[in-house]
Amino acid sequence: MKDIKILAIESSCDETAAAVVRNGREALSNVIASQIDLHTLYGGVVPEIASRKHIENINYVIEKALKDASCTLDDIDGIGVTYGPGLVGALLVGVSEAKAISFAKKIPLIGVHHIEGHICANYVENKNLKPPFVCLVVSGGHTHLVVVEDYGVYRILGKTRDDAAGEAFDKVARAIGLGYPGGPKIDKIAKKGNPNAYLFPRAKISDSVYDFSFSGLKSAVLNQLNLSKMKGEEVKPEDIAASFQNSVVDILLERAMLALEETGICKLAIAGGVASNSAIRRAFKEECKKREIEFYYPSPELCTDNAVMIGSAAYYEYKNGVRHGWDLNAVPNLKLGER
């Protein structure tokens, strides 16, 4: 069977990324120009700055991805690009670039859903992973519990009603003075803290056992900080970080395990930036071992935004016959499963 090589482009937030992926499973290159340092100055992503930086970086990133993979555009069978969800101006840079290359070189164009990309990162590092499996996607913008029924076929069990898990990490980190992006910083200092120092809430949604809510947890942390300040008590940021993280772990674990029980599926994957959190990985590994569930997770580099995951998702969409036309547009609030 002929190899299928996808040139993939990702620009939905603050990383400009390109990669060449073979047969959906093998990264021939993985180039990421991160803007994190720039946005750190402002305490979060500034959309207008992100779009401008994507324009500056995108050609260079694509050329490097082709060069690292020892390819030219003549070797490429499809162009995969994230077209939503994300920041509209940022997405438009990748989509316009992908359309231009696709038009000029007559290469099929495949628009990819960003969350589908996160899920597919698992295919690249776990060659044996095949649907069906349950996937928990936890990133800066999304928290979704999904049944991957087949390649490109998703059933959403639950999602967040308010903040995403990563957003909660970033907001709590800011409150305890750690700066952006907060997730990795909380992860680091929590190792030195007491996870039972504070009992933060584990909110449940009355009409959906699979939905998430993190805004109450974030508020509880902020209230605790205010209370301690008013009482003149010393607060150790390590204890706040560890106790907050402990609560997030419980919330995520409970719903993921329920999904496995109720669907009868014995495979679980996690994905998205927050999936690189060491406490989450540890707790999930332990619980899955106990329950004899196969547990899959990408390496930290493929958890956060990258184009390899988009190349993998695009490959399966390509195999399913998905092709987009010149009218492909950026869709900031694209729903998973929509084409």
Residues in touch with ligand KG4 (CB under 6 A)? 13, 139-141, 166, 169-170, 181-184, 187, 272-274, 276-277, 304-305
User: Does 16 help bind Zn ion (rule: CB under 5 A)?
Assistant: no
Phi-psi region of 21 (alpha: psi -120 to 50; beta: other; left: phi over 0): beta
Minimum CB separation of residue 158 from ligand KG4 in Å reads 18
User: Does 305 help bind Zn ion (rule: CB under 5 A)?
Assistant: yes
Which runs of consecutive H residues, i.e. helices, occur in the chain?
A: 36-40, 47-68, 88-105, 114-125, 165-175, 182-190, 215-231, 237-263, 278-291, 300-303, 308-319
User: Does 139 help bind Zn ion (rule: CB under 5 A)?
Assistant: yes
Q: Which of ligand KG4, Zn ion, none does residue 304 bind to, with CB < 5 to 8 Å depending on kind?
A: ligand KG4
User: Under rule CB under 5 A, which residues in 99-128 are in contact with Zn ion?
Assistant: none
Q: Which of Zn ion, ligand KG4, none does residue 117 bind to, with CB < 5 to 8 Å depending on kind?
A: none
Q: Which of ligand KG4, Zn ion, none does residue 182 bind to, with CB < 5 to 8 Å depending on kind?
A: ligand KG4
| Cα angle for residues 71, 75, 79 (degrees, 5° grid) | 100
User: Does 57 help bind Zn ion (rule: CB under 5 A)?
Assistant: no
Nearer to Zn ion, 139 or 243 (CB): 139
Angle between helical axes of 165-175 and 182-190 (0-180°, round to 10):
70
The CA distance from 153 to 148, in Å, is 6
Nearest to 115 by CA among 286, 251, 269: 269
SS3 271: strand
Nearer to ligand KG4, 76 or 168 (CB): 168
User: Does 306 help bind Zn ion (rule: CB under 5 A)?
Assistant: no
Residues that bind Zn ion (CB under 5 A): 139, 305
